[in-house]
Structure 1
Amino acid sequence: MKILVRSLERTVTEAELLELFKAYGTVKSCTVVLDAATGKSKGFAFVDMPNGREAVKAIKGLNTLRLHGHGIRVKAVEDKPEAK
């Protein structure tokens, strides 16, 4: 299950997020989205957890967690409808 993590403080690293999510289960990937021009964090990330149950527990457990002084927002990524 792909998870969106928003409202990240710009200094949060992929390693920090990985450790948070690993407490809930297997993490396939963890990517902080960077600005192409500056190379700095855009304040959000994607985490991919292959086990749906573990992902749901991570979402419930980490949503609104205060990380580096910011309350983060964690939710499942919704599939976009296919263009016709």
Structure 2
Amino acid sequence: MKILIRNLPRTLSETALKELFEAYGEVQSCTLVLDQKSSASKGFGFVEIAKVDDAKVAIQALNGKPINGNKIRVKKADSGK
């Protein structure tokens, strides 16, 4: 299941984001969205967790969790239209 994470601290690395979600299951992919010009974080990213049940637990556990002063918002990513 692909998960959207918003309101990430701009200092958070892709590695740290992946490690945060690995506590809940096998992370298949992790992408921190970066500004094309500056390469700075845009404050959101995507994580894909192999098992749907693990992903649901991660969403429940991490939505609203403070990370470096920011309460992150975590939800199932919308599928492409």
**TM-score normalized by structure 1?**
0.92
Instruction: Say yes or no: does 1:75 pair with 2:75.
Output: yes
1:32-68 deviation digits (Å, cap 9, x = unpaired):
0000011000000000111100000000000001001
Identity %: 48
Which structure has the larger Rg over C-alpha atoms? 1
Q: CA RMSD in A?
A: 0.8
The runs of 4+ residues in structure 1 deviating greater than 6 Å are none
For 1:74 and 1:22, locate their aligned partners in 2 and report how far apart those are by CA, in whole Å.
Answer: 15
TM-score normalised by the chain length of structure 2: 0.95
Give structure 2 stretches of 5+ with no counterpart: none
Q: 1:4 aligns to what?
A: 4
Number of equivalent positions: 81
What are structure 1's unaligned runs of at least 5 residues? none
